[in-house]
Amino acid sequence: MPVDVARLRAEYKGPHELVSTFDHRTLFVRRWNAKSEGKVSVLIFHGITGYSGPYGPMVAEQLAGAGYDVFGLDLRGHGLSDGRRGDYPSEEALRKDIDETLALVKSKSGRLVVMGHSLGVLPAIIAAKYHPEEVSGVILVSAARRVRTGAYAKPTMGAMLRTLIGVAILRGTPLVDYRREGQVGADDPLFNFKYSARFFTVLYGVGAFRFTRTRGSDTPNLSFGGKLKVPLFVAVGEHDELFSAEGVREFCDGIDCDDKEFHVIPGARHAVWPKDAFTPLVDWLAGKF
């Protein structure tokens, strides 16, 4: 059944902000307020299929407890934000959504660090690339230029046919299945498991047919386009199903940045993290900011 996003958003009583977009849509930004007054905020961009909510117990609550105000954007078409589920209409819309979200968060906070997890690494990179004056630090979790062999099952002929239809005819219609072993969120109606061909072009910079075959390996959007001049923290779970520690370290080593740290988080999977897993991140934030 279709999710009544507007109703669920209106019923949500926790701390949050709303962004009014250039095309009259509403984006939902969840908040986790610091337990004590802080001068640094963290803006989280979620992974594919997900939304900001699950990042509370995963990382945001720990950061808030350490004195950081945390914000989590539901990307357009995800969670409690408006938009066709599993679609992004254009690169311009993505850029402007990020622009407007950064402006809102900066109006309510001091220095801002952006954090991307998995797919969310891509909007985090966009934020840092195009708003260097607004972003004081970057955190990238669970991303690399190559996916583990066997992380995804070989797509069926039916899946490839739906992808081909999406590419050739119905670019804005969510026809492309996104499924893998060990995926979370199956019982949460706010998770997405179907995407449009256009979504992959906008976010990953590759066509959906290529994405279905390669699962986004070596996306051209996974680049800062030059030297990153703010501190960088890169991490991966010890048991991440999609990216090996070696692959993520290779990605980290390839980023031109003079101030960067890399961590493997013990016991963590791609989207399942032990309690207080991000203690190294808390320590890094305290040391840098």
60-76 tens-digit pLDDT: 999 999 999 999 999 99
d(CA 280, CA 235): 9
DSSP 8-state assignment for residue 142: S
pLDDT(186) > 90: no
Residues 6+ apart with CB under 8 A from 85: 2, 3, 77, 78, 174, 192, 194
For 244-274, what is each residue's pLDDT tens digit? 999 999 999 999 999 999 999 999 999 999 9
Q: What is the pLDDT of residue 176?
A: 83
As a residue count, the chain comes to 289
Average pLDDT, the chain: 90
d(CA 239, CA 257): 26
Of 64-78, 178-192, 245-259, 274-288, the range with the lowest mean pLDDT is 178-192
Paired tokens of 22:
């250039």
Q: What is the pLDDT of residue 174?
A: 87
For 114-155, what is each residue's pLDDT tens digit? 999 999 999 999 999 999 999 999 999 999 988 888 776 676
CA quadruple 161, 171, 99, 131: dihedral, nearest 10: 60
Contact 76, 52 (CB under 8 A): no
User: What are the boundaries of each domain within the chain?
Assistant: 5-151+217-288
pLDDT(157) > 80: no
d(CA 78, CA 85): 6
**Domain range 5-151+217-288, CATH architecture:** 3-Layer(aba) Sandwich (3.40)
Q: What is the pLDDT of residue 229?
A: 97
Paired tokens of 121:
């690494």
Paired tokens of 114:
């952006």
What b/e string do you get for 138-153 counting C-beta neighbours within 10 Å, with b at 16 or more?
bbbbbbbbbbeeebbe
End-to-end CA distance of the chain: 45
